[in-house]
Every structure is written in C-alpha cells, then in structure tokens.
Amino acid sequence: MNSVWTIARKELSDSLRNRWLLAIAIVFAVLAAGIAWFGAAASGQVGYASTPATIASLASLGIFLIPLIALLLAYDAIVGEDEGGTLLLLMTYPLSRGQLLFGKFLGHGLTLAFATILGFGVAGIAIAVLVEDVGITDLALAMLRFIGSTILLGWSFIALAYVVSVRASEKPVAAGLALAIWFFFVLVFDLLLLGSLVASEGKLNPELLPWLLMLNPTDIYRLLNILAFGEGRQLSGVLSLGSDLPIGQGGLWLALLLWCVLPLTAAWALFRNRRI
Amino acid sequence: MSCFRLENVSYRYHKAPVLQGVDLRLEPGEILGLFGHNGAGKTTTIKLILGLMQPVGGFLSVLDGSAGDPQVTRHIGYLPENVMFYPQLTGREILAHFARLKGADLRQVPELLTQVGLDDAMDGRVKTYSKGMRQRLGLAQALLGKPKLLMLDEPTVGLDPVATADLYRLLRTLRDSGTGIVLCSHVLPGVEPYIDRAAILTDGALKASGNLEALRRQANMPVTLMLEPTGSLDSLENAIRQCNGVTRPVMKNINNRLQVDVRPADKMPLLTALMASGEVADVGIHQPTLEDIYVHFIGSGGLAHRGEVQ
C-alpha cells in the first residue's frame, strides 16, 4: 500500500507542478459559470434558466470535455515511463506491476477529482450566492450528483487510457488510440446505435435496446444527470431509450462504476504480459 | 548465503535461445566482471536476476530467495545502462521518490548525493544535468538502502577519469563491507584491476569464468618477454634456440630488443637458461591482459556480433 501511495503522490505533485490540476479546474469553472449565465440565451434572455436545464447543458458539454481531459491526462502513464527509461528501473524496485498501475490510477484519479470538485464546486457556490430565488437544496443535490458522476466518468476514461498505455509501444501510438477511443464513445457510438435501430426496422428486441446504452459510459453519465429530474422530455435522440431502462438511479451508478473497474482490471491483466 | 546462483539457466525469446545452460554464482564481498559482445546475453542475465523475466529452464536463486520477490529486490541495487530519470524533477526529489519506493531511510538521500558529488546540483532539475551527472544520480539510486547485491551496467559511461577512480574506490569499500557486485563494462583495461572474477559470455553461453589467473591458464596464451641483449641480438637468439625442452618461440626484433612470445609453461625454463647464459641485460614480462583474454575467448569474429539487437 505504501508504494501505491508513493506512486500516486508523485503523479499528484506532478499535476500540481505542471498546473494541469489548476487548468482543468479553471476550465470546469468557466464552463459551468458560462452555461449557468448564458444557458438560456437561445430563448432570447440572459440569466439563470433553471437547475435541471443548467445541469443538462453541463452534462451535454461534459461528455465532450471530460473524456478528452481524462484521456490526455493518462494516455502516457505506462508507455511514457517506458519511453523515458524509468519503467525498467521502477520494476527493479519492490513494486509490482499492479501496485504501479493502481498508484498511477490513484494519482490521476485524485487529480481529476480535485479539479472537478474545485471547478464545479466554485461554480455551484457562485450560482447559489448570485442567483436569486434558486432552490438551494435542489441545486446542491444536483451539483453533488453531477460532480460525483463527472468524477466517475473521468475515472472510467482514465482506466480506458491505461488499456491503451499498457499495450502501446510508443507514445504517439498511444495518443492516437486514445483519440480513437474518444471518437468512438463520444461521437460514433450513438450514431451507430441510431443507425442500427433504423436499419433493423424494428426487428431488434425492444427489451434489449435500452441496455445497449450501458455499453457507453458517456450515455450512462447523461442519463444519470437528466433522468434524475424525472423529466423524460429532456431526453433526445438515442437517450430517449433510457427512460425505458428498468434499473433506476442505483443501477446507473453501478454501471458507471463498472466502467471504471472493468477497464482498469483489463489494463492490469494486459500490463502483466508487457515485456520490459 | 550467495548473492545469486544460476544453475543451467536458459532463456528463450520468441523461441530463439538467448541464454543456454549458464552456470554462474556470486558470493558476498566479491566483484564479478560480466563481459561479452552486444547481444551476448549480459542484460538478459541481469534481468533474470532482477526477476524482470522468468528463466525457461534451470535453477535461479537470489539472496537465498526467489528473483523478483519484494523481500529480495529490496536488497538489490541496480544501475541500468543509459539510466534516465524524470526530467522535470530535481535530483533530490527523484532520489527521495526512489527511497520511498525502496523503503530506505530518507536521511540517506542528501548523504548519497554528496557521496556521488552532486551536492551542488541536487536542487537543480534533472533536465539540466549532463550525462555524467545523470550517471552519478543513477549510482546514488543504486546505493539506496545499503544493497547486498549491486549490479552496475556500464557505470563509468560519461564519468571523467577522477570520478571513475572515485567510483572504483567506492566499489572496493562496498565489497570489503560484504556487498556482492556485478560490473558490466566494455572498458576492460579500466575494470581489470578491480574485479575479483570475470565471466565471459558469447551468444548466450558462458565461455569462461574465474579469476584472471585461472582464465590465463585456461586461455593458455603466450607470455611476451622483452629481452635486452648484453652483446649482440644474434647471440641472444642463438642462446634461446639452444634451450632444451622449450618449444621454439616466436621472436621479433624491435629497436634492438628481442620480443619473444613463449608458452606459459616454457616461461620459467627459458628464463632460467637465459639467466645462466649471461646474454640478457634486462627483462620485461607482459602477461596477457583482460582484453587479450577477452578477445581470445570471444574469437576474432567480434565485429560480426556487434550489430545484433539485444
């Protein structure tokens, strides 16, 4: 456990040193504040619209940004050490490959978690203070849910980045594959799902369809933040399938958690076979 | 307790044999020189001892435990060839990081940095370090936690002559306090005075191992005598030819001195006979050096091996 923390501590102090943590927090804060104030601009007015609308907009933007940041943060975790020549040295220390990987995950995970809490937390407090007659309890609950799910979404993409990082032999390859992962889950997946729905002409089992959304962590994330307000009308596109899911909030949280655990386990298994 | 024991160890990579039937051991308080051409299997041998890879055959024990066991690796110090560190951290930060990983006392960090001569540079970032400074930091890293087994791959690369001499003095001190040391180097004349034993690998097999005397005997290479005649060279040559029981040696005239290559067994009989003849004014004796022995065992096809990937 000690060596896991030593690795995590180095990652964390690295992201403080190169100001990654601060930069991510600022991006999140600006994003949240901007959406809160200008979210209603489409309807011809400037100002705070409503908590559900703000969270829904934040989640829609979050699915682009958060996976990208997580992948950027973590894609070179292992392959970077290998190219830098330090992986060989680390492995001659009393440190197993699992400990190294989990230490990295802890460090990157905490970096992302702190940045999220800091960025969106500040924005949430600003909304609570500056906007008149906003339901504080509703806002706090929605913000907590949003921050929690954002952290989990980030962690799942950190874990996915590790799967790439333990396999790739060079950093540019890992970066390319990480971008491909982003492209697939954020842009392509929903189109594929929609396309296959249309092409199948209703021959697919309607019971099965909503479950397909569970194959994409960004869809789970959006469902979590939108369904919680009990407003199915906010769901558009393939997400409308989600209102038929029989698993509820707890199930969605569990699904998102599995998206952290499974890729991380896969990365660990692959790392054990990497030749050093 | 042995530092390590390899018995009939083999390793294959993609079915191509990298090591075949290697027997090698190291006792505490001993410096072993591990030599071989590029791709001979030196790095593989070290990686097996470090537990980075598992042998496909044979028996391997390290510090009376199994290779790669955290309780064993805690007591091993390793300096890889071309050691690299995190460029954005300072020397002190890096050494502290590795000390924590090894469970070593953090008070060792400034001590070791001073010992390797980095006391002025310990708070500078590693990206500003020269090759020699990185090498010193690597050395400090290997010495963390007072290792019982120290393995150094090309430790003198980038070091100036003074630093090199310091390093070898340090290694002697460590050896005398009971550390087992493995030294891989291509600078054979440099390491020759400091090693207790040498092991020579070619193509994944151990060609020879033992102390220099044993290796010289095994190689049976001629000893070179430089003889300065009292009278003329011809009479000296005649005296040598008349020696009984000595295989006729190769002789060469160099600046009015006679260079004679003689088999080790013939050296003393020849010298005794020559002393009695009174033809010799001065004698110089050149034993085969480590480099000569190395070339003898590796064979003259040395260059052909150089291009192989490890």
For the beta sheet containing B149-153, the strands, ordered from the edge strand earlier in sequence to the opposite edge, are B76-79, B149-153, B180-184, B31-36, B197-202, B205-210
Question: How far, CA to CA in Å, does B171 sit from each of B112, B164, B181, B190?
Answer: 14, 11, 8, 13
pLDDT band, residue A41 (cuts 50/70/90):
low
Give A-chain residues touching B52 at CB under 8 angstroms. 88, 91-92, 276
**Contact call for residues B293 and B216 (beta carbons, < 8 A):** yes
pLDDT band, residue A232 (cuts 50/70/90):
low
Residue B142: closest C-alpha in chain A: A89
Q: Give residue B256's pLDDT.
A: 83
Q: Would the pLDDT of B301 be above 70?
A: no
- Express each pLDDT in B204-226 by its tens digit: 899 889 998 888 888 888 889 89
Is B84 in contact with A85 (Cβ distance < 8 A)?
yes
Q: Give residue A30's pLDDT.
A: 92
CA distance A92 to A84: 15
How many Cβ pairs within 8 Å bridge chains A and B? 56
Q: Give residue A15's pLDDT.
A: 94
Q: Average per-residue pLDDT in chain A?
A: 89
Provide the percentage of residues in chain A whose pLDDT is more than 90.
60
Q: Would the pLDDT of B11 be above 50?
A: yes
Q: Would the pLDDT of B111 be above 80?
A: yes
Q: Would the pLDDT of B302 be above 90?
A: no
Task: Quote the Cα angle for A227-A230-A231, to 5°.
Answer: 85
Is B83 in contact with A93 (Cβ distance < 8 A)?
no
pLDDT band, residue B310 (cuts 50/70/90):
very low
Residue B74: closest C-alpha in chain A: A94
Give B-chain residues touching A18 at CB under 8 angstroms. 88
CA distance A130 to A107: 34
**Contact call for residues B294 and B200 (beta carbons, < 8 A):** yes
Of B80, B87, B102, the CB nearest to A93: B102
Give B-chain residues touching A276 at CB under 8 angstroms. 52
CA distance B124 to B136: 14
Give B-chain residues touching A103 at CB under 8 angstroms. none
Of B52, B84, B102, the CB nearest to A84: B84
Of A7, A84, A92, the CB nearest to B73: A92
* Separation in Å, CA of B50 to nearest CA in chain A: 6
Secondary structure class of A27 (helix, strand, coil): helix
CA distance B46 to B66: 14
* Separation in Å, CA of A57 to nearest CA in chain B: 38
Which tops the pLDDT comparison, B282 or A232?
B282
**Contact call for residues B208 and B290 (beta carbons, < 8 A):** no
pLDDT band, residue A50 (cuts 50/70/90):
confident
Q: Which two tokens stand for residue B198?
A: 């040498």
CA distance A107 to A7: 7
* Separation in Å, CA of B81 to nearest CA in chain A: 10
CA distance A1 to A5: 6
Bridge pairing between strands B149-153 and B76-79: parallel
Is A88 in contact with B70 (Cβ distance < 8 A)?
no
Q: Would the pLDDT of A36 be above 80?
A: yes
Residue A234's nearest CA partner among A225, A246, A245 is A225
Q: Is the pTM of this model over 0.90?
A: no
Q: Would the pLDDT of A1 be above 70?
A: no
Q: Would the pLDDT of A118 be above 70?
A: yes
Q: Average per-residue pLDDT in chain B?
A: 89
Q: Give residue B307's pLDDT.
A: 42
Within A66-140, strands assigned E span none
Provide the percentage of residues in chain B whose pLDDT is more than 70.
96
Give B-chain residues touching A6 at CB under 8 angstroms. 97, 100-101
Of the residues B48, B92, B101, the best mutation for testing chain A's interface (the one with the most A CB atoms within 10 Å of its CB) is B101
Secondary structure class of B227 (helix, strand, coil): strand
CA distance A251 to B77: 49
Q: Give residue B264's pLDDT.
A: 84
